């Protein structure tokens, strides 16, 4: 299985250099938000068939919101959402556009081999 993560600040159209695992892996779950300065993030997981950096086809996309106090390294991760209407509502037009361009640039054959339902999420 091939997979890739894009982590966006909620209002940014370009992902951060770190993945969800890199940024949230060592954080503690927050018990409450008192005294925290929380930033909102949107984590997009793309799955498909293929090896390492060579996807053959994109099959699934999951999105989740997260909040993190970067200084205190605590945060809240929400469950992954995988339904088309949820994903369309969660992603900004700029994020959809970035992801669509990424697919076409980095794996055009996998993009073409993907189902129409998958491609429509990013149009």
C-beta separation of 27 from 68 below 8 A: yes
d(CA 122, CA 104): 11
Give the dihedral sign, CA 54/56/98/92.
negative
CA distance 38 to 68: 5
Give pLDDT, residue 85. 86
Cα first-last separation, the chain: 25
Query: pTM value?
Result: 0.88
Over residues 4-25, the pLDDT tens digits come to 999 999 999 999 998 888 887 7
- Number of domains present in the structure of the chain: 1
What value does the mean pLDDT take over residues 22-47?
A: 81
Q: How far apart are CA 117 and CA 123, in angstroms?
A: 10
Q: Could you tell me the residue range of the domain that residue 77 belongs to?
A: 2-120
H or E stretch at 92: none
């Amino acid at each position: 299985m091939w997979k890739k993560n894009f982590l966006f600040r909620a209002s940014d159209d370009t992902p951060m250099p770190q993945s969800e695992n890199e940024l949230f892996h060592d954080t503690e779950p927050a018990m409450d938000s008192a005294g925290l300065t929380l930033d909102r993030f949107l984590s997009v997981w793309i799955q498909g068939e293929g090896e390492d950096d060579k996807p053959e086809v994109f099959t699934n996309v999951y999105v989740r919101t997260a909040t993190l106090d970067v200084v205190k390294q605590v945060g809240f991760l929400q469950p992954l959402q995988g339904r088309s209407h949820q994903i369309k509502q969660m992603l900004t037009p700029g994020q959809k556009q970035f992801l669509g361009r990424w697919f076409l640039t980095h794996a055009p054959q996998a993009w073409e081999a993907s189902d129409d339902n998958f491609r429509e999420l990013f149009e």
